[in-house]
Amino acid sequence: MIDLLLDQARRSPAAAFLETPDRSLTYAAAAAEARRLGVALRRRNLGRVALHCHDSPELVLLLAGCAAAGCEPCVVDRGTPPAETAALLHRLGLGTVVTDADGSFSAADVLRLGDVVAEARKLPEPVDEIAVAPRLLLLTTGTTGPPKAAVYTWASLAAQVRQRTALAGTRWLLAYHLNHFAGLQVLLHVVANAATLVIPRSGRVADALAAIVARRVEHVSGTPTFWRFLLAELGTRDAAALPLRQITLGGEAVPQDLLQSLHRTFPAARISQVFATTEAGSCFSVRDLEAGLPAELVERPAADGVELRVVDGVLQVRSRHGMLGYAGEAEQDPAAWRSTGDVVARRGDRYVFLGRTTDTINVGGAKVHPAAVEEVVQRVPGVIAVRCQGRPNPVTGQIVAIDVLPAEPSGTAALETRIRSACEALPPPARPRLIRFVESIDTANGKLMRRTP
Amino acid sequence: MSVEARVVEVVRSLLARYARTDPVTPQSRLYADGLGLDSLGAAELSTMLEMTFGRDPYSAGLIPRGVDEIIRFYETTAGTR
């Protein structure tokens, strides 16, 4: 990270690196500030440090400063309340937190972001003294238990990023938070290619859309849920006002209808599906506008250090660029296969994603994958977004329940009839037995949050 | 609306979801000997009753065979709304 930043600052000092609605920062200015932050952090002799900050230029520079100082940053979800964050820090052994919040973090040594930045700015231009093989921690989403921290070297993350001359000067949106693997991947793509990272005012889709238009963003990577909401937010407005050249989807199963909708709306944009996990890193990318992945990707020998296989219907991966291991645990064998937790099925020459092993709904012994239900419901005219999940039931153990965000709050009775009619194409256990119309659907880092209602 | 009327209405609504217009009375049997609900239908009925009354006989460990048993459940137990 810091090496890439310093390199770009030498090559393209005046190029724009970070832009927000209120300010912009060149590579030269960012590199100078990151180096000072590195000195300030090194003076404090920090080991692992939690970064509890909103997505901002300061957070990006703090990450680079940590890499320079050789301390191991772990960006934690800024939306998590301080008390909950404190428990997480304690569990992960993170004794110091840098925060832009006012709250306390009990046992953690709290450094205020403003103080750290101010201290660094008082330092003279530092001589480069960059740590060797700096590391960082990436939190897992914790869908099957408390989040764990995956340990990476910056070098292994950077190795997953492609450098292309044509990407220099391109403009990318930060649509993922920086506490997630995908957010860091976008950041590294930007730095590696001397591109510009546009940070929207907030994580709201409306702000993302405003940033795309105002800052002429060409590259946007987001979850299918993000793109679904962006299309809804776009509504009848002229899509040509969005200069998108590259649309990337990942983080969730990508439905076919969404690929088609995006292609229709942005015909000039290249559309890619990427698959990555916090533990294994980036695995593959496909651009053929077909949902799922070509079976040949699963059956081929290792390519770019990544191998895939399917065992009992679940995708497994072995990656040369994966994490070293979980913090507090022994380093993992890089030759070991890891379950991705994604349930897949062979359909002709492709594997399609059915959902997560942890999301599977058991209806009287029949396994139902929420993604299959959502794909059917999502195609019903009048549905903006849908979330499918299991609901405890005394007769069948679970039933399928869906939350539907309608395009029009009125007229949901007719919409419910259309949804039920569409769902007759599903096997009986997979048909929703409870349909609720909601005003919003919770997301976390752009992904649907599945909770038992 | 009486408990009887509300229960009958819930069962009618369930059938209407599947374009069925069978007459529903307190004497109606729920399963193969009557309205023909299978386990999924019973699961859906239990959810509809829970959404309407706040609790349902299936969750209380009962397997009502007829509409009248559902009515009796709500008439004889507290907690209806």
Cβ contacts (< 8 Å) between B47 and chain A: which residues? 391, 393, 399, 433-434
Weakest mean pLDDT among A243-252, A309-318, A355-364, B10-19 = A355-364
Could you tell me the sign of the dihedral formed by the alpha carbons of A105, A445, A201, A190, in that order? positive
- Arithmetic mean of pLDDT, A80-85: 77
Q: Hey, which CATH number is domain A2-159, 3.40.50.720, 3.40.50.620, 3.40.50.980, 2.60.40.420?
A: 3.40.50.980
Instruction: State both tokens at B63.
Output: 């397997």
**CA dist list (Å): A333 to A39, A148, A320, A325:** 34, 17, 10, 8
Tens digit of each residue's pLDDT (9 = 90 or more) over A170-184 = 999 999 999 989 999
Q: Report the pLDDT value the prediction gives residue A286, as an integer from 0 to 100.
A: 93
Instruction: State both tokens at A153.
Output: 């070297």
Q: Report the pLDDT value the prediction gives residue A53, as an integer from 0 to 100.
A: 92
* % chain A with pLDDT above 70: 95
Record: contact B43-A364, CB cut-off 8 A: yes
Residue pointed to by tokens 């976390």: A444
- Arithmetic mean of pLDDT, A261-270: 94
Tens digit of each residue's pLDDT (9 = 90 or more) over A349-397 = 999 988 888 888 999 888 898 988 999 999 999 999 999 999 999 888 8
DSSP classification of residue A357 = G
CA A209 – CA A220 distance, rounded (Å): 10
Q: Report the pLDDT value the prediction gives residue A452, as an integer from 0 to 100.
A: 46
- Arithmetic mean of pLDDT, B57-79: 87
Question: Which residue of A415, A420, A433, A436 to mutate against B (max B Cβ within 10 Å)?
Answer: A433
- Arithmetic mean of pLDDT, A425-452: 83
- In this prediction, residue B79 has a pLDDT band, given cuts at 50, 70 and 90, of very low
Buried b (16+ CB within 10 A) or exposed e, A195-225: bbbbbbeebebeebbebbeebebbbbbbbbb
Second CATH level (architecture) for the domain A360-448: 2-Layer Sandwich (3.30)
Q: Report the pLDDT value the prediction gives residue A51, as an integer from 0 to 100.
A: 93
Q: Report the pLDDT value the prediction gives residue A127, as an integer from 0 to 100.
A: 65
Start-to-end Cα distance in chain B: 11
* % chain B with pLDDT above 90: 69
- Numbers of helices and strands, H then E, in chain A: 13, 27
- In this prediction, residue A89 has a pLDDT band, given cuts at 50, 70 and 90, of confident
Residue A232: CB atoms within 10 Å: 14
Mean pLDDT of chain A: 88
Nearest to A42 by CA among A94, A120, A124: A120
Question: Which residue of B47, B58, B65 to mutate against A (max A Cβ within 10 Å)?
Answer: B47
Of B17, B43, B61, the CB nearest to A393: B43
Residues of chain A with CATH 3.40.50.980: 2-159
Record: contact B39-A364, CB cut-off 8 A: yes
- Can you tell me whether residue A359 is helix, strand or coil? helix
Interface check for A429 against chain B (CB to CB < 8 A): the answer is yes
Weakest mean pLDDT among A163-177, A294-308, A411-425 = A294-308
Tens digit of each residue's pLDDT (9 = 90 or more) over B34-54 = 999 998 999 999 999 999 999
B60-65 contacts, C-beta under 8 A, 24 or more apart: B61/A394, B64/B30, B65/B29, B65/B30, B65/B31
CA A79 – CA A101 distance, rounded (Å): 10
Going along chain B from its start, the domains and CATH numbers come out as 3-76 (1.10.1200)
Residues of chain A with CATH 3.40.50.12780: 189-356
CA B77 – CA A76 distance, rounded (Å): 49
Residues 6+ apart with CB under 8 A from A248: A219, A220, A221, A222, A271, A272, A273, A274
* Torsions phi, psi for A376 (to 5 deg): -70, -45
Burial level of A235, CB count in 10 A (0-12/13-18/19+)?
exposed
Of B17, B51, B59, the CB nearest to A394: B59
CA A431 – CA A424 distance, rounded (Å): 7
CA A222 – CA A244 distance, rounded (Å): 13
The B-side interface with A (CB below 8 A) comprises 17, 39-40, 42-44, 46-47, 51, 56, 58-59, 61
Residue B43: CB atoms within 10 Å: 26
Record: contact A395-B58, CB cut-off 8 A: yes
Mean pLDDT of chain B: 90
CA A9 – CA A15 distance, rounded (Å): 8
Residue pointed to by tokens 């309205």: B35
**Residue A423, min C-alpha distance to chain B (Å):** 12
Q: Report the pLDDT value the prediction gives residue A137, as an integer from 0 to 100.
A: 93
Tens digit of each residue's pLDDT (9 = 90 or more) over A195-228 = 999 999 988 888 999 999 999 999 999 988 889 8
Record: contact B40-A393, CB cut-off 8 A: no
- Arithmetic mean of pLDDT, A290-303: 85
Residues of chain A with CATH 3.30.300.30: 360-448
Record: contact A429-B40, CB cut-off 8 A: yes
Residues in chain A: 453
- In this prediction, residue A453 has a pLDDT band, given cuts at 50, 70 and 90, of very low
Superfamily the domain A189-356 falls into: ANL, N-terminal domain (3.40.50.12780)
